[in-house]
Structure formats: C-alpha cells, structure tokens
C-alpha cells in the first residue's frame, strides 16, 4: 500500500480510491494524530510491522498519542528503537498549526487552526474551534466541515462557500490542540491566564459539533471521530458528553444513533413549516413531521438521554408567546431539553435578537411546561466566538488588516 492510497481515518472516500496526483505536499509525512485504530494498524503494516504484532503496536501508539499526548516517537519507550525510527521516517505526530489564539474576558478561547494539504485532502483548510469553560465543565465546540452547504438565513456560515468536509483526523485534532493549549496532557502545565473549570472536572469534559458545517453531511468522518474521542483507552470522553447538532438531515439521524450514539441536538428554530422553510431551507426536504418522527425513533432516547432542541431567538420572527406554547405542544412525548439561543447578529443580517423581556417570557412558558429552559448566554462575544460567527469574522478582520497594511 502506498502512502497516497493509505486511509488513516476510516473508509475510502467516494472517489473509489482513485490515485491522488503526486504533488510535493501529498508526499509529506502523514501525521498519525487523529487516526483511527484501523488507521494506525494500516500505518504499522505499511512499514513492515509483522501481522502478529499489529494489535499490540496499535494499542501502544494509541496510548501514547491519545492518553499521553505524545508529540514525538522518541518518548515511546515501550516500542523498540528500530521501530520508533521507522515510524518517524514515514510518519509524524504533527498537529495542525495554531494560526491565532484569542482569549475572551470570560475565559472563552478561540483557536484558528490550519490543516496542511494531505493525500486525502489536497486542499488545506482553516477552521476555528472554541473552548467555553464553566465552573463544572469545559465545552469544546468543533467544526465538521469548512463552510457549509446549508443556507440557514440567520447563520453567517450559510453565507460562505462550502470548501470541503473535514477528515476524521482533522476533527479529532481539534480536541488534541485544545487539550495541549489547556495543559491537559500529562506533564503539561495549565495556563494561569484564563478561567478554567473547577480543577476536579476535566479541562475539556464536553464536545459539541456546533462549529462550522453540517455534521450529518459528513457522516462517516463524524462517526469515526466520535469513536476516537470516546475511546476509553485514549481521549475517553463519555458519549453522553458528545453532542452532534444537526439542522435535520432526517435519513441520517437513526444511523447516527445506531453507529455512534452521541447525544443529539436539533436546530429547530421554528414550529411551523412555512417559517422553518425560510430559516432552515433544508426543512423543504425534511419537514417538521418527518424530523420529529426521526427524533422519536432516535436509538437510546430516554429521560436520561434527551434530545436538545435549539431555538434561536429572532425578534418578531419566531418569538411570539403563541410560538412558545406551540413549541411545547410540538415536542410533547419526546424526552427533550430546549436551548434558547439569543441571536448573534452579524454585519448585513436582516435579523435582530429578541428583546430580553421576550426571551424571559418565552422561556417561562417552556419552564412552566416542565422543561429546564436555559437561555444560552452568549460567550466570547468580545472575540467573535459566538454561534455562527466562526472563521468568517477572522477572515474579515484579516482582510481589514491587509487593507491597513496595504491600502492599494
């Protein structure tokens, strides 16, 4: 198997394994960071590790990469010197480059990551991920695609071009970088300059797929990433603390539960098809009834494993108290949590955020119907890290910076 053909992170892509033209970039060493177990096994096979050792070697690499956060093969002392050298000759443990790091006054951190081109993805990519510390948890919001094919009218990402899916490795690497930056691998020191959760909880205890992209349009890579993130011998995040958020790709919902079983979040935002068709155009393909049926059938659904319904509060669009009551009726019988999200405006948007009094009244109706209805306080607004603001703003700031430097 040549390096070009080797899949480090899951099943072959739909190009049928067609040969990627050899460019200098695609010949660069492949990083094993983010690889699945079968990816690591393939890597070992490709450098001549005998079949009978593959399981052991894979387990060793897994431990070093994901449990210890190793950045060099040299430290892997339970692997013989010769094999370590062969690994280092063909592979690296490179992380994506952190192009920018911003820390908000409230402790929210945003990283702009650059992924180099690889054999699998000739196009490099830049994505942002955001870390939100609270007293009892630390949540990492990860991206699953660069850009998005959906055109939700209130979401800034929807106004940008879709570039490509992220690979499994690129999704997993977002957590590796975050934990490294937060000093959360053995031997590292946590930073003292930001707010972190209580020392008894893990720095990153939760992951939400709520950054850029529609995770269910990148199903296999997201599924495999959930697998790597939740593996008990490595990064060991509980699947109950991994939430995949979808705008409602109905045919993939059951499959997500069956093949990955993370927690599910649905970007609902409207209680009537006519309005949802406008806000989340995907609704024209998969209307509310189908979406809610798929939710009822989500494998493992119970009062202990509820679906989160996200509802962005848009002034005079979806925020009447009648809609709050309809929302309660609509979700009847589904074990649910409801997250009201104040709309984060962006330049040129036709929408405004609902008034605070209205959000409170709306939330009261939901609360009285028996739901905890936390209003998700916008975090990291000073560093443009709120929902729907990822990457695009950084790009704009850069463009602005370029203008200042180069007025032409």
Alpha-carbon gap, residue 252 to 246, rounded angstroms: 10
Q: Measured from the CB atom, is 66 or 162 closer to ligand SAH?
A: 162
Judged by CB under 6 A, the stretch of 34-42, 82-90, 150-158, 292-300 that binds ligand SAH is 150-158
Q: Are the beta carbons of 127 and 162 closer than 8 angstroms?
A: no
Residue 128 interacting with ligand SAH (CB under 6 A): no
Annotated active-site residue in 126, 128, 310, 393 = 128
DSSP characters over 194-247: S----TTS-SS-EEEE-SSS-GGGSHHHHHHHHHHHH-TTTT---GGGEEEEES
Piece in contact with ligand SAH (CB under 6 A), picked from 37-45, 94-102, 193-201, 241-249: 241-249
Residues 361-400 that bind ligand SAH (CB under 6 A): 387-388
Residue owning tokens 């205890």: 205
Residue burial 300-336, b: 16+ Cβ < 10 Å; e: rest: ebeeebbbbbbbbbbeebbbeeebbeebbebbeeeeb
Q: Considering the candidates 44, 295, 353, 387, report the single residue annotated as catalytic.
A: 387
Residue choice 246, 261, 318, 363 for contact with ligand SAH (CB under 6 A):
246
Residue whose CB is less far from ligand SAH, 134 or 214 = 214
Closest by CA position to 376, among listed 224, 210, 252: 210
Is 128 tagged catalytic?
yes
Report, in Å, the least distance between residue 156 CB and ligand SAH.
Answer: 6
Q: Which of 243, 318, 344, 394 binds ligand SAH (CB under 6 A)?
A: 344
Strands lying side by side in the sheet with 263-267 = 97-103, 109-115, 125-133, 138-141, 206-209, 242-246, 263-267, 307-313, 336-342
Q: How far is CA 215 from the centre of its chain?
A: 8
Instruction: Provide the minimum distance between the beta carbon of 286 and ligand SAH in the complex, in angstroms, as a whole number.
Output: 12
Check binding of 174 to ligand SAH (CB under 6 A): no
Task: Considering only the stretches 79-87, 129-137, 239-247, 320-328, report the one whose residues sit in contact with ligand SAH under the rule CB under 6 A.
Answer: 239-247
Site residue total, ligand SAH (CB under 6 A): 16
Residue with the CB atom nearest ligand SAH in the bound state: 388
DSSP line for 290-357: HHHHHHHT-TT-BTTBPEEEEEEEBTTTT--HHHHHHHHHHTTTS-EEEEEEE----TT-S--BPPHH
DSSP state letters, 344-395: ---TT-S--BPPHHHHHHHHHHHHHTT----B-----GGGT-STT-TTHHHH
Taking CB under 6 A as the criterion, the residue among 245, 252, 261, 363 binding ligand SAH is 245
Kindly state whether residue 178 participates in binding ligand SAH, applying the rule CB under 6 A.
no
Nearer to ligand SAH, 156 or 223 (CB): 156
To the nearest whole angstrom, how small is the minimum distance from the Cβ of residue 200 to ligand SAH? Answer: 29
User: Catalytic site residue 155?
Assistant: no
Contact between 286 and ligand SAH per CB under 6 A: no
Half-sphere exposure of 317 (CA within 13 A, CB side): 22
CA-based Rg of the chain, rounded to a whole angstrom?
22
Q: Which stretch binds ligand SAH (CB under 6 A): 49-57, 96-104, 243-251, 393-401?
A: 243-251
N- to C-terminal Cα distance for the chain?
50
Q: Which of 83-91, 153-161, 196-204, 253-261 is the region at the interface with ligand SAH (rule: CB under 6 A)?
A: 153-161
Q: Which of 155, 169, 270, 292 binds ligand SAH (CB under 6 A)?
A: 155
Q: Which residues contact ligand SAH (rule: CB under 6 A)?
A: 154-156, 210, 214, 245-247, 267, 310, 312, 341, 343-344, 387-388
Residues annotated as catalytic (active site), given as ranges:
128, 387
């Amino acid at each position: 198997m040549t390096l070009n053909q080797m899949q480090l992170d899951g099943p072959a892509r739909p190009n049928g394994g067609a040969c990627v033209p050899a460019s200098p970039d695609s010949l660069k060493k492949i990083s094993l960071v983010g690889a699945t177990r079968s990816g690591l096994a393939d890597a070992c096979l490709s450098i001549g590790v005998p079949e009978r050792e593959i399981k052991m070697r894979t387990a060793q690499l897994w431990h070093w990469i994901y449990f210890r956060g190793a950045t060099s093969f040299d430290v892997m002392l339970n692997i013989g010197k010769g094999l370590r050298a062969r690994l280092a000759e063909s592979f690296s443990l490179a992380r994506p480059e952190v192009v920018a790091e911003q820390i908000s006054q409230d402790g929210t951190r945003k990283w702009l990551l650059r992924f180099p081109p690889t054999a699998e993805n000739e196009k490099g990519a830049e994505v942002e991920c955001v870390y939100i510390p609270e007293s009892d948890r630390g949540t990492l919001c990860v991206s699953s695609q660069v850009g998005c094919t959906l055109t939700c009218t209130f979401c800034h990402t929807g106004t940008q071009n879709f570039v490509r899916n992220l690979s499994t490795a690129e999704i997993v690497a977002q957590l590796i970088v975050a934990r490294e930056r937060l000093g959360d691998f053995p031997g590292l020191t946590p930073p003292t300059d930001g707010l972190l959760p209580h020392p008894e909880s893990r720095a990153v205890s939760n992951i939400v797929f709520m950054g850029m992209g529609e995770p269910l349009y990148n199903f296999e890579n997201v599924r495999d990433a959930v697998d790597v993130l939740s593996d008990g011998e490595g990064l060991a995040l509980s699947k109950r603390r991994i939430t995949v958020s979808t705008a409602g790709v109905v045919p993939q919902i059951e499959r997500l539960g069956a093949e990955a079983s993370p927690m599910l979040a649905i970007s609902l935002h409207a209680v009537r098809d006519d309005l949802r068709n406008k806000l989340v155009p995907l609704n024209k393909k998969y209307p509310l009834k189908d979406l809610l049926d798929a939710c009822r059938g989500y494998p493992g659904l119970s009062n202990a494993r509820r679906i989160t319904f996200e509802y962005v509060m848009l002034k005079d669009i979806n925020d009447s108290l009648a809609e709050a009551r309809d929302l309660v009726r609509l979700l009847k019988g589904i074990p649910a949590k409801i997250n009201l999200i104040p709309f984060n405006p962006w330049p040129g948007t036709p929408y405004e955020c609902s008034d605070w009094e209205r959000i409170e009244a709306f939330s009261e109706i939901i609360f009285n119907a028996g739901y905890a209805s936390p209003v998700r306080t916008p975090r990291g607004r000073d560093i443009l890290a709120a929902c729907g603001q990822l990457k695009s703003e950084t790009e704009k700031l850069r463009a602005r910076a370029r203008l200042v430097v180069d007025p032409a």
